[in-house]
Chain A
Amino acid sequence: MYRYDSFDQRLVDERVAQFRDQTRRFLIGELTEDEFRPLRLQNGLYIQRHAPMFRISIPYGMLSSKQLRTLARIARGYDRGYGHFSTRQNLQLNWPRLEDVPDILAELATVQMHAIQTSGNDVRNITSDHFAGVADDEIVDPRPYCELIRQWAALHPEFAYLPRKFKIAVTGATNDRTAVWLHDVGLVLVKNDAGEIGFRVIVGGGMGRTPIIGHVIREFLPRADILNYLDAILRTYNRFGRRDNKWKARIKILVKERTPQQFARDVEDEFAHLEGGVATVPDAEFVRFDSYFTVPAYQTLSGDDSGHKAAVADNRAFGNWVKRNVHPHKVPGYAIVTLSLKRAGVPPGDATSDQMDAIADLADEFSFGEIAASHEQNLILRDVRQADLFELWMQLKPLGLATPNIGLLTDIVCCPGGDFCSLANAKSIPIAEAITRRFDDLDYLHDIGDIDINMSGCMNACGQHHIGHIGVLGVDKSGAEWYQVSIGGSQGNEASLGKVIGPSFAATDMPDVIARLIETYIDERHVDERFIDTVRRVGIEPFKERVYATTH
Chain B
Amino acid sequence: MPQLIKHRALADDRYTLVRDVAAPAELPDGVAVIVPLSLWLAHRGPLIARGDVGVWLAPADHPSALADDIQRLSVIAIDFPQFTDGRGYSNARLLRERYQYAGELRAVGDIGRDQLYYLAQCGFDAFVIPDGRDAPDALDSFADFSDGYQATVARTPWFRRRHLAATRDVAYPTA
Contacts and interface: CB of A to CB of B under 8 A. Distances in A.
Interface stretch (A271-279, A336-344, A441-449, A537-545): A271-279
A11 B121 CA distance: 15
A14 B169 contact: no
A227 to B, nearest CB: 8
A161 B86 contact: yes
B15 interface: no
Contacts of A243: 59, 85, 87
A155 B168 contact: no
B15 to A, nearest CB: 25
A5 B168 contact: yes
Contacts of B144: 14, 17-18
A550 interface: no
B131 to A, nearest CB: 14
A273 B98 contact: yes
Contacts of B25: none
Is chain B's binding surface mostly helix, strand, loop or mixed?
loop
A112 B171 CA distance: 9
Contact of B114 (A8, A15, A39, A279): A39
> Which of A5, A231, A277 is the most central at the interface, judged by chain B CB atoms within 10 Å of its CB?
A5
B16 interface: no
Interface residues of B, number: 42
Interface residues of A, number: 49
Contacts of A66: 172
B165 to A, nearest CB: 7
B148 A238 contact: no
A155 B149 CA distance: 8
Contact of A158 (B83, B93, B145): B93
Contacts, number: 121
B157 A278 contact: yes
A154 B149 contact: yes
B114 A159 contact: no
Interface in A136-173: 151-152, 154-162
Given A155-B145, A157-B150, A278-B157, A6 B117 contact: no
B156 interface: yes
B91 to A, nearest CB: 7
A6 B147 CA distance: 12
Interface of A: 3-11, 14-15, 17-18, 22, 30-31, 35, 38-39, 64, 66, 110-112, 121, 151-152, 154-162, 227, 231, 235, 238-239, 243, 273, 277-279, 281-282, 285
* A-B interface, 6 closest residue pairs, ranked by CB to CB distance from nearest: A161-B86, A157-B121, A157-B118, A279-B151, A5-B167, A151-B149
